[in-house]
Amino acid sequence: MEVNQIREPEVNRPIVIAAMQDMGNVGSIVIDFLRKSFKAIPFRFVRSNYPNYVMDRGGYIEFNPESWDYSYGENMILFGGGYGQPQSSEELVYLCNDVINVAKKYSAQLIYTCGAFHSDSNFGKNPMTYVTTNSQALTEQITRLGIAKTERPSYITGFNGSILGFSKINGIKAVGLYAEIQEPQIPQYRSARSIIHVLEKLTYHKIGGINELDVMGEAVDKEMDRIKRHVDGE
């Protein structure tokens, strides 16, 4: 892994929000949207030198290393987003430790992560977001705000789960927010919107432009309807 820090962020005991691509791209949609909303400024890049795949562009391939960046705005540090997860356990451990080190360096108050979980409920266009944390006391504190906790035991794989564990063993409070989805292969903009509404409540930050995610959700719905009609021969 290669790290390049290009500036020092202007933050004071910030909140860290860190998430990567997952089912429905929920984690990356949230991070990318927050970067845009806060006009966040990049300050540090982490790059994987040797990805374990190539991208076939239809007769020719591209071989590009994965990279993730840190940015800051509104006294927040944002990490992740974009495309792809770490391609090995070693990369996953490295990235989690790097986020922890950055959080410690700037005396972060809290680390948030987010993602998706597959749900069988009939939530329509209003998926719910559930919380889990790395301490029972913190979970109790958050649920008193009317935010539901995750209901059943499960494994949370990849970066968007592991960072909670790395935070715990380093004595940093961390919160995971996971929104319902039903179609893991399709970008889930409404699930990302649900998480951002909860982040507004927990961080006391007003996040503008959230309606844009509804517009994107409607566009995905129309495209899926068009594909279905084509398959059905209508």
Residue 153: pLDDT band by 50, 70, 90 thresholds?
Answer: confident
Residue 101 · residue 53 · CB < 8 Å: no
In terms of phi and psi (left: phi > 0; alpha: psi -120 to 50; beta: otherwise), the region of 31 is alpha
Please tell me the class of the 2-232 domain: alpha beta
- Classify the C-alpha dihedral 10-198-149-88 as positive or negative: negative
R_g of the chain computed on alpha carbons: 18
**Domain range list for the chain:** 2-232
pLDDT of 19 higher than 60: yes
Q: How many CB atoms lie within 10 A of CB 208?
A: 10
> What's the half-sphere exposure (Cβ side, CA atoms, 13 Å) at 130?
14
- pLDDT beyond 80 at 178: yes
* pLDDT greater than 70 at residue 233: no
- Whether the predicted pLDDT of 131 surpasses 80: yes
**pLDDT per residue as tens digits for the range 85-115:** 887 899 999 999 999 999 999 999 899 999 9
